[in-house]
Amino acid sequence: MAAVDEDDKYRAPALDKGLDILELLAGTEEGVSQAEIAKMLDRSPNEIYRMLDRLVRRGYVLRSNGDRYELTLKIFELAHARPPIQRLVSQATPVMRQFARQAQQSCHLVLYDRNVLVVAAQVESPGYWGVSIRVGSRIGPVNTGSGHVFLAFASPEERRIMLEEQVDGATETLLPSLSERLKDVRAQGYESMASLQSRGVTNLSVPILGPLGTVLAALTCPYTERLDNHSAPDSNAVLQLLIAAGAEIANRPGLKD
């Protein structure tokens, strides 16, 4: 008898089907119909209907009045119920609010979890406008200030794992120039770079360091110059406030245990 493939030895078809649906919905911005899901997953409408029904009943998926399906925030809530993440976010949030008031800028906290950089917390600018990143957003390690902070303080093996997730082999061409940039980030303890996503925004990012010197999170301010308020801190002053906020979060008693 032929040896059983290790990948198929413990298959759970029903579980795979449910995970396929969740991953599909996670990659869509608008609701998807049952027929569209069945077609995209190459499944029959009946088996998709049964699985969707269970996911709706368990609160992972929402069915709209137009018979379209989309993810709820339940998975996000479950992830944040994990004690380390919950503790970090709860300890960081008051400091982030204080920073936003003093700097008159928004800020967000980025975590690295299972090869993905995710925005875990966000505090808006106290003014009537500002640049913000949606909580739960995934961001890239190569083209963002937060990503540069994680790469700069990572071990060679950790950096390799983070970079190999990039698509189309982009890291092989970016890595030589990026390597020099990361040396500067590590030496100065922060990143300050023009946003590669939004014109007129400067990404200021600092690491939240753990007791052993590893990066627990990155605290980032998408700085924009205030033309309507000449008393607002400039970019250098905001950077100093951000560095102080990062150090304060790292030294919170709840994170040093």
Residue pLDDT, tens place only, 210-248: 877 888 999 999 999 877 777 788 999 999 999 999 999
Q: How many CB atoms lie within 10 A of CB 21?
A: 25
Where does 6-72 sit in CATH, by number? 1.10.10.10
What percent of the chain clears pLDDT 70, i.e. is strictly above it?
Answer: 85
| Site of tokens 């980025």 | 110
| Ranges of each domain in the chain | 6-72, 81-256
Place 7 in a pLDDT band, splitting at 50, 70 and 90. low
Per-residue model confidence (pLDDT) at position 38: 92
Rounded CA-CA distance 240/61 in Å is 43
CA 188 to chain centroid: 24
Report which of residues 231 and 34 the model is more confident about: 34
Tokens representing residue 140 in the block: 């890239």
* pTM score: 0.68
Q: What is the DSSP letter of 177?
A: H
Across the beta sheet with 32-33, the strand order is 32-33, 68-71, 61-63
Per-residue model confidence (pLDDT) at position 1: 41
Rounded CA-CA distance 102/210 in Å is 25
Check if CATH label 3.30.450.40 holds for domain 81-256. Answer: yes
**DSSP assignments along 69-84, one per residue:** EEE-SHHHHHHHTSHH
Given a contact cutoff of 8 angstroms between Cβ atoms, the answer to whether 215 and 149 are in contact is yes
Cβ within 8 Å of residue 254, ≥6 positions away: 87, 90, 91
Q: What is the DSSP letter of 194?
A: E
Lowest mean pLDDT among 26-40, 129-143, 154-168, 212-226: 154-168
The pLDDT of 80-108, averaged and rounded, is 87
